[in-house]
Structure 1
């Protein structure tokens, strides 16, 4: 494993967990990105501000990091074009079918001991693992 970074992964995971707890404690909301984004577009006035603030943080944080340490944001995708678009569409469809995303189910739902979230997390993790195995078997298509 060439990108094994346990310290930064542990710190990042703790920060995600703390932010999810903070949002639940302060606003009584679950930090599911797809739900936050969907609600930002058509929520009531009082419900829009925290959603747009949350989304702004998701956009601004990497921009700030990129300004000070551009090398931190270098990402290599093993594929391009149509396959990436197909993958993005499939993620969106899966989010709709599963009534949530990895952050809503995997982080917040499992912490609340939600059976629906546990099953959703097992489903998307298994699907991801199987997809990687298939793609590697066929040489990345």
Structure 2
């Protein structure tokens, strides 16, 4: 926790919440990343979802690149081999499809709407994360 700064965390959380509210207000959709990625991979016949989802997903890749180019932050180094990161991302994606949403959709948007399903899903995500970290760090020695 040596890099935790409450002010930047509060600003970041506020920006995430504001963007979720604006996305819902302007598009009538929840800003859940798994649903938006699914909108790009399996476009509907309407066509609108593809462009809205595509713009959102492209922004997820462009924003960190802009920060990387315009700031003096050191480059990100993955402690695991790239294949493990890719497999982990694939498993997270499959889990979010099985759970009918991801942490952004359930955790940010669903809890804000007091959705019981989202509260249960988010608790499940968090408990699973705690168990996984404990297992990887203390049982496997990672």
Query: Structure 1: which 5+ runs fail to align?
Result: none
Q: Counterpart of 2:102?
A: 101
The 10-residue stretch of structure 1 (47-56 or 27-36) with the greater mean CA deviation from structure 2: 47-56
2:135 is equivalent to residue 127 of structure 1: no
Aligned partners of 2:52 and 2:125: how far apart in 1?
A: 28
CA shift for structure 1 position 50? 1.7
Describe the shift of the 1:83–1:45 C-alpha distance in structure 2 as closer, same or farther (beyond 3 A).
closer
1:52 aligns with 2:54: yes
Call closer, same or farther: CA 1:51–1:80 in 2, change over 3 Å.
same
For the aligned residues, what is the CA RMSD? Answer: 1.7
Q: Deviations over 1:53-110 (max 9, x none)?
A: 21222121111111111525x3343322554344223212211110110100000011
- The structure-2 alpha-carbon separation of the partners of 1:123 and 1:46, relative to structure 1 and needing over 3 Å to count, comes to same
1:84 counterpart = 2:85:
yes
Distance 1:59 1:70, change over 3 A: farther
Q: Report the count of equivalent residues.
A: 139
Question: Structure 2: which 5+ runs fail to align?
Answer: none
Distance verdict in 2 for CA 1:84–1:47, change over 3 Å: closer
Tell me whether 102-111 or 46-55 shows the greater mean CA deviation.
Answer: 46-55
Aligned-partner Cα distance in 2 for 1:11–1:98? 29
**SS of residue paired to 2:4:** coil
